[in-house]
A and B are shown apart, each in its own frame.
Chain A
Amino acid sequence: MSEQAQSLTETDIGPNLSNQLEIRGVSRRRFLKFALSITAAMGLPFGMSREVLAALEQSQARPTVIWLHFQECTGCTESLLRATHPTVESLILDLISLDYSETLLAAAGHQAEQALADSIAQNRGNFILVVEGSVPMRDGGIYCKVARKTPQEMLHEIAPHAAAAVAIGSCASWGGVQSAAPNPTEAVGLPVALEREGITRSDGSALPVITLPGCPASPYNLLSTVLYYLTLKKLPALDAKGRPLFAYGHLIHENCERRPHFDAGRFAEAFGDEGHRKGWCLYKLGCKGPETYANCPAIEFGDVGGNTWPVGIGHPCFGCAEQGVGFHKALHEQADVKSVTPPAFFPEIFTEHPGGASLAGAALAGAVGGGGAVYALNAGKKLKKAEAESSAESESESR
């Protein structure tokens, strides 16, 4: 930490994010870059980056977040906390007021439950409910209990008072790994659980649910969603399954860096074969990119950079984000291509010849040129005759 930063800690630190950047060792330049890239990830136009920046810097209204864990592995929380830009990401966490999270809470036992009850009482109708994990519907949900309460009971208690809900990860979105056959707990995602339990907001209107599937969900999609809300004071455009279109609007297949290989018919046929080593398309190894909607090829995954996301490192996408694909289809099963299934036969597109003039080619070019010239000369001659005739005609007419 620099001396200047140290002196800052000693003096007054303002309430805004911008006041804390230097203390956390984040340069202004890096912060601006982050704001720009997150604007792009949200699918907002370049000009909006200024508003996003303002929302980042001057956010006074820190929305309260209550984060519940149901049947899950805490992978989504981990991926958010372990992002390799921890400074920036923890700043984003500072943007929200995380009043209750079983993973991050310092308090324990009754103290923690009290914090939850207090927060709901204070922020009635205004907080955002984040749910991580699926809801077990069998036997009234007894397979998952926190503080002696089943997920159903917790949702009945908390959800009616939330402003909106975010289902983070595939489990909360559509059931995830627990919903894989035979699905012993009858696990479902948050949207289905709310519907089956008949839970609405306290005024009777439906609780809006944003689903961010992925196993784990990409932390940037959560950050983008939160920032979108802070910047524009509204929820982003969602698809029929509640996924933000800016992140889940395109198939992985559409933006995949290996797409040209798919189009050209260059497939890896087995792990470690020549095609696999050359980075060819993984479709025939069971890549589910052609039926999975997510922005992994654009923002990659795991935040390591350098082309690290499953397909980038040579593993077929297994469709973790897509209901009915991830944990449901076998790894080796070929994807049900949403766009165009590749043909079985691809004509070669590379020429074997050196490209210079061949004797036959030169002869043909000469013949065409010569033939054209002869034909033109002939036509010219005929025309001269016709011209003479017509001028003779017009002369005789004028007489």
Chain B
Amino acid sequence: MTEVYRPVGGKLLTRQFYFLALLALIAAYFLVRRFIFGIGDVSNLSDGYPWGLWITYDVVTGTAIACGGYAMAVAVYVFNKGQFHPMVRAALLTSVFGYTLAGASIVVDVGRYWQLYNVFLPQYANLNSVMLEVALCISLYVLVLWIEFSPAILEAMKANRALRMLRHILFFFIGVGILLPTMHQSSLGSLLIIAGHKVHPLWQSDIIPLLFLITAITMGYGMVVFESLYASVNLGRKLETDLLAKVAGVIPWLLITYLVLRIGDLTLTGNLAALAEPGRAPILFAGEMALFGYAIVSLLGKARRRHPTHLFWSALAVVLAGALYRFDAFLIAYNPGPGWHYFPAVGEMMITLGVVAVEIMAYLFFVKKTPVLAAGH
């Protein structure tokens, strides 16, 4: 664990950066409207669809994509694969902003945001609530992530004293940082169990917490590969193909486990029969399976994994498959009953785009200005 991390350097205010800033500004406009005129002014959310794009993308999918830090921590600290340590900081960086903005999205999404503080008052806590578990766990994890990531910021600030002190306690936060996502990523799935028949039979299952957890970890690894390749293409860094191939080697086995569990469960419960029903659900299901299948096939062979383009497309497929799985379960194949319709409003989409833009801007800022990426060997 003696890697040297260096800021990439280079110009921060590029054309792309300005474009992202523009997106963020548009989102800010809609956010101001949302907070003054209310949630109905910018969104299409309703009592039938209280969870729309913001929860499904920003929170459920966003935190799964941001599981890179968690997935790498599991690999490095639980399975003791020290060789991946150089990639931990970059993975943590995507996690920090993924989770922070997911938490912030909750404030945007909750209709009466001025009541949100009640979640943190212990006298009102309902300890049987999955939602409470998710809320507290994610808030706590955001804090833990910032502490885990703080060495990069402290190094950039040259705050050596604080850095030395932090090193003594960091192991504790790394431990907590592995525990918390395990809890809430599965709980995000448990939220759907409560929704009962509103969730389509092809997605509703008693083991949905486990399925969400496995896909979150695979999406985390997928994102680590994707992020590294992104840095190579856009920041002129050397390809880390050897390491990426090893990271990506885990993905197909996790996905196979996931598919066996999911299809096995569907068969046992007899819900697989819903595939024969007309409608868009079987098509969506097939789409997921195609993406998962593509990722498995293209990552299973050792030789294919060594091609960056293969890695790129299959990492993208892993992330998209996990995202589609979440979108289907939470939104597209979700049926709250007759009379309800939902398609995200322009304001909703612009806010989500803004969130993504801020994430990328933050990534670029930290990668260029603080020691996040390992110096080339």
Residue ranges of A at the interface with B (Cβ–Cβ < 8 Å): 254, 263-264, 343, 346-358, 360-362, 364-365, 368, 376, 379-380, 382-384, 386-387, 390
Contact = CB atoms under 8 A, between A and B. Distances in A.
Contact of A361 (B40, B239, B312, B344): B344
Nearest to B124: A254
A383 B312 contact: yes
A364 B341 CA distance: 18
B307 interface: yes
Q: Using C-beta atoms within 8 Å of the partner chain, give the interface range for chain B.
A: 35 or more
Contact of A349 (B38, B346, B349): B38
B344 A365 contact: yes
Contacts of A357: 343
Interface of B: 34-41, 43-46, 48-49, 111-112, 114-115, 124, 229-230, 232-234, 238-239, 241, 307-309, 312-313, 316, 340-346, 349-350, 353
6 contacts: A349-B111, A365-B343, A365-B344, A383-B229, A386-B233, A387-B239
Contacts of B307: 387
Given A348-B41, A356-B341, A376 B316 contact: yes
Contacts of B238: 390
A343 B114 contact: yes
Contacts of A376: 316
Nearest to A371: B353
Given A379-B234, A386-B232, 10 more contacts: A351-B44, A355-B45, A362-B343, A364-B346, A379-B229, A380-B312, A383-B308, A384-B309, A386-B308, A387-B239
B230 A351 contact: no
B115 A387 contact: no
A370 to B, nearest CB: 14
Contact of B44 (A264, A346, A353): A353
Contacts of A383: 229, 232-233, 308-309, 312
A255 to B, nearest CB: 10
| Residue in B124, B233, B313 whose Cβ sees the most chain A Cβ within 10 Å | B233
Contacts of A361: 44, 343-346, 349
A348 to B, nearest CB: 3
B364 to A, nearest CB: 15
A350 B183 CA distance: 32
Contact of A358 (B43, B46, B316, B346): B346
- What does DSSP make chain B's interface, helix, strand, loop or mixed? helix
A352 B40 CA distance: 6
B40 A349 contact: yes
A234 to B, nearest CB: 25
Nearest to B45: A351
| Residue in B36, B112, B234 whose Cβ sees the most chain A Cβ within 10 Å | B112
Contacts of B36: 347
A351 B39 contact: yes
A362 B238 CA distance: 39
A382 B112 CA distance: 46
A259 to B, nearest CB: 10
Nearest to A249: B123
Contacts of A343: 114
A384 B313 CA distance: 11
A263 B112 contact: yes
A361 B349 CA distance: 8
A365 to B, nearest CB: 6
Contacts of B316: 376
Contact of A387 (B49, B308, B341, B353): B308
Contacts of B241: 390
A312 B239 CA distance: 69
A380 B349 contact: no
A217 to B, nearest CB: 25
A178 B312 CA distance: 82
A386 B114 CA distance: 50
B233 A382 contact: yes
A124 B12 CA distance: 87
